[in-house]
Amino acid sequence: MDELGNERRDDKAGKRPVKAYEAGSAKGFSDYAGPFLPAAPSQEGSSQDDPLKAGTAFIIACAENHLNADRRIHGGVLMSLAASAMRGNLGISHPRARFRTISINCDFVAAGEAGARLEGRARIVRATRSVIFSACEILSGERVLLTASGIFEVEQAAPDVAR
Amino acid sequence: MRETSPALPSPVERMPPEGFSPMALVDPFEAHMGPIFLRQLEDQSGNGEIEAAFYVDERHVREDGVAHEGMMMTFADSILGAAALAAFGEGIVVTLSMQTSYMGEAKLGDLVICRTHFDHKTQSLLFNSGRFFVGENLVMTASCMWKLVGTA
């Protein structure tokens, strides 16, 4: 048992394991809450040369920690994957810029089942000098679970962007 | 979210902010990200308006030390869901839609406090919203639509 008493809690919580966690060990939200991992764009015909068309994908293999009380995937996991996918996409298309998130809207189209492998596909809808509009879908196989849109403010215009 | 499941422990222990007490979290993902603290408000309307808080720690932030939007939305989902459930009295509610706007950023170590507001309810739908503060600063607003899908 660690000093936080995780092992004792595992027993109390029955079949739900409390994921081991030690203070100082977390490497940020995307790792701890996910991990949300970048994946190669799976869409055919996406152009790597054009960031407006090159979609990026982020994936998560859902575990016990990602569920709600009904053993469906928690909405927070879907929204988090969408946020990570959209931000990850911006990091690829605008590698030197810093973005401030202004808006994220999410619609819950279908429920995700325990054990699913989710893919978040994000793309840029329009990029201006100061604002970027993104869209994202979270998929479980072919099934759409969540659609999301985001607006991000560009804090520093990178020299690369204008090229 | 449902009312009848047993509360789950969170992997981090913290003293609640003054006036708050630990919130019983029944969803594994919320327990995983918690703890979350709750303060009961004088609820004269019976529409389930609540105040809740969490401390931004290393599990909640992006590389730049700012609270990840996913954590802010998860917190919003948890609190506004609890408020929706309280307004319906019983049953199971699922999120249909959530809109979030970001006026500022919560950073590592900050205490984020959410105050919920009941907007409208039909037999099976509920609309509510939340304002999220760090100190005096409004950092986020969230509007949420809930569907009552059954009884617990």
Tokens of A89: 């996409």
**What confidence category does residue B91 fall into, taking pLDDT thresholds of 50, 70 and 90?**
confident
Residue A152's closest CA among A139, A135, B132? A135
Using a CB-CB distance cutoff of 8 angstroms, which residues of chain A are in contact with residue B146? none
Phi/psi of residue A29, each to 5°? -60, -50
B150 touches chain A (CB under 8 A): no
B107 touches chain A (CB under 8 A): no
pLDDT at A43: 54
Residue A96's closest CA among A30, A51, A151, A33? A51
Phi/psi of residue B75, each to 5°? -60, -45
B86 touches chain A (CB under 8 A): no
Q: Chain B closest CA to A147's CA: distance in Å?
A: 10
Using the beta-carbon criterion (under 8 Å), do A80 and B69 form an inter-chain contact?
yes
> Does residue A101 register a pLDDT over 60?
yes
pLDDT at B46: 72
Using a CB-CB distance cutoff of 8 angstroms, which residues of chain A are in contact with residue B1? 68-69
pLDDT at B40: 76
B46 touches chain A (CB under 8 A): no
> Does residue A12 register a pLDDT over 50?
no
The average pLDDT across A42-58 equals 53
Pick B73's closest partner by Cβ from A28, A80, A107.
A80
Helix residue ranges, H only, A13-136: 29-32, 75-93
> Does residue A136 register a pLDDT over 70?
yes
B129 touches chain A (CB under 8 A): no
Using the beta-carbon criterion (under 8 Å), do A83 and B77 form an inter-chain contact?
no
Q: Are A78 and A140 a contacting pair, CB within 8 Å?
A: no
pLDDT at A23: 74
Mean pLDDT of chain A: 79
Highest mean predicted confidence (pLDDT) among A44-48, B95-99, B120-124? B95-99
The residue among B93, B100, B143 with the most chain A CBs within 10 A of its CB, best to mutate, is: B100
**What confidence category does residue A26 fall into, taking pLDDT thresholds of 50, 70 and 90?**
confident
Report d(CA A91, CA B118) in Å as an integer: 37
> Does residue A88 register a pLDDT over 50?
yes
Tokens of A59: 């994936």
**What confidence category does residue B141 fall into, taking pLDDT thresholds of 50, 70 and 90?**
very high
Among B7-11, B14-18, B114-118, B135-139, the range scoring the smallest mean pLDDT is: B7-11
What are B39-87's pLDDT values in tens digits?
Answer: 977 766 677 788 999 999 999 999 999 999 999 999 999 999 999 998 9
What are A56-72's pLDDT values in tens digits?
Answer: 678 888 888 999 988 99
**What confidence category does residue A134 fall into, taking pLDDT thresholds of 50, 70 and 90?**
very high
> Does residue B126 register a pLDDT over 50?
yes
pLDDT at B3: 55
Report d(CA B32, CA A13) in Å as an integer: 12
Report d(CA B12, CA B90) in Å as an integer: 29
Window 38-57 of A: residues touching B by CB (8 A cutoff) are: none
* Sign of the Cα pseudo-torsion (A17, A66, B128, B116, in order): positive
B100 touches chain A (CB under 8 A): yes
Q: Are A60 and A81 a contacting pair, CB within 8 Å?
A: yes
Among A41-50, B56-65, B97-106, B130-139, the range scoring the smallest mean pLDDT is: A41-50
Please name the residue of chain B whose CA is at the shortest distance from the CA of residue A104. Answer: B100
**What confidence category does residue A5 fall into, taking pLDDT thresholds of 50, 70 and 90?**
very low
